[in-house]
Chains A and B, each alone.
Chain A
Amino acid sequence: MVQQQAALLKPESLVAEFKKNNVTHIVTIPDSETNYLYELMKEQDWLEVVPTSREGETFAIALGLIVGGKVPVCVIQNTGMMESGDSIRGMSLDANFPLVMLIGYRGWTRHGVITDSAAKYTETFLHAMGINYYLLEGDDDASRISVAFEEARKNSCPVAVLVGDEYHGFNRM
């Protein structure tokens, strides 16, 4: 019998962290693993969800929101982050504004061998861009989102939060 993992990462914990850090907009491309998170975010009257057509848009839209006085978070998958390279460079790193990006760490595993190239290159990509990051593996790690916000605001730069666990609860009714 497979044992249930303790302290699974709950979508509610992520939304609570967004509220704590005065987030106003989520700029995102949803994926099947984050469907419940998407639905939960849509239910919050203090939060506006901005669905995009491609991940590169998210960093540009976020820049416009920041310049306009709002607090966006980019929520995308690691594959999309790599697609967004020029946008991250020109619309986030060069702009010198605080931004937290929540990145789904597709293919990541603590145990065994990583075989998915999406995961293999995720941290390499962030190192190349000079972007610091924090890893969420379970609910106890959710407060690292606040740590990322503090660092982004202190240094006026993007900071990544890698979600190394699926948002358990995506299959709720």
Chain B
Amino acid sequence: MFDSADMFRAFQPHRDKAIVLVTGTCGRDWRAISEDEKRDLSLQGAMGQTNAAALGFALAQPNEKVVLFDSEGSLQMNMGILGTIAGMKPENFVHFLMDNEVYATTGGQPTPNAGNINFAGMAREAGYASTFSFDNLEEFADSIEKVMQAEGPVFVAMKMTPKVENEPIGRRVRSPQRGRAETIKVMQEELRISIA
């Protein structure tokens, strides 16, 4: 397992102009590391559906690389999305999975069959064009350039160190995150998109 903040630091230099979406507790590390906030997009809002929303955006903007950092808890709520994504074949879509094997935000309870699911294998058999798996930072950092140049849709399973939250919700220290509506507005201005 490796730390999500370290993973994002290794990813950032290879981001180029990609639109980046994150979800899950590990995803909260991204904001402090991102160097292009105008291309950070939040489409969270329903359990297990950020991956589907990211697919929709990738289909709408085929000339933009769309990078999603998903979580295994979220993906397991909506596993059928692997087939949906593979079926649409978005070449511009890179689907990272941050697998910390727990529901970190609710106290660290294990996700179903935690540690025993080969997510990259599932994505490969569903029909993703390229799949990768990493369980240490060194290998990830050495391979990220290749990952970002691979034929899409790309799936990247990563074992992440859990950042379990046990404090009652009212006492948790929250890192500041931008709201969904704000990220949409800024990103649409950046890409000159108007609502049809």
Contact = CB atoms under 8 A, between A and B. Distances in A.
By size class, the interface of chain A is 35 or more
Interface residues of B, number: 35
Interface in A58-116: 59-72, 86-87, 89-91, 94-98
Interface string B42-60: 0101111111111111111
Interface in B23-79: 41, 43, 45-61, 78
Contacts of B49: 56-57, 59-60, 86-87, 90-91
A52 B86 CA distance: 11
Interface string B153-196: 00000000000000000000000000011001001100001111
B176 to A, nearest CB: 20
Contact of A61 (B56, B180, B193, B194): B56
B45 A95 contact: yes
Interface of A: 22, 24-25, 27, 48, 50-54, 56-57, 59-72, 86-87, 89-91, 94-98
28 contacts: A24-B196, A25-B59, A48-B59, A50-B88, A53-B81, A54-B78, A57-B78, A59-B49, A60-B43, A60-B52, A61-B59, A64-B54, A64-B57, A65-B60, A67-B184, A68-B59, A68-B60, A69-B195, A69-B196, A70-B60, A70-B196, A71-B196, A72-B56, A86-B46, A90-B45, A91-B43, A91-B45, A96-B181
Given A53-B84, A57-B80, A64-B52, 14 more contacts: A53-B81, A56-B46, A57-B78, A60-B46, A61-B59, A64-B57, A64-B59, A65-B59, A66-B60, A67-B41, A72-B56, A91-B46, A91-B49, A95-B45
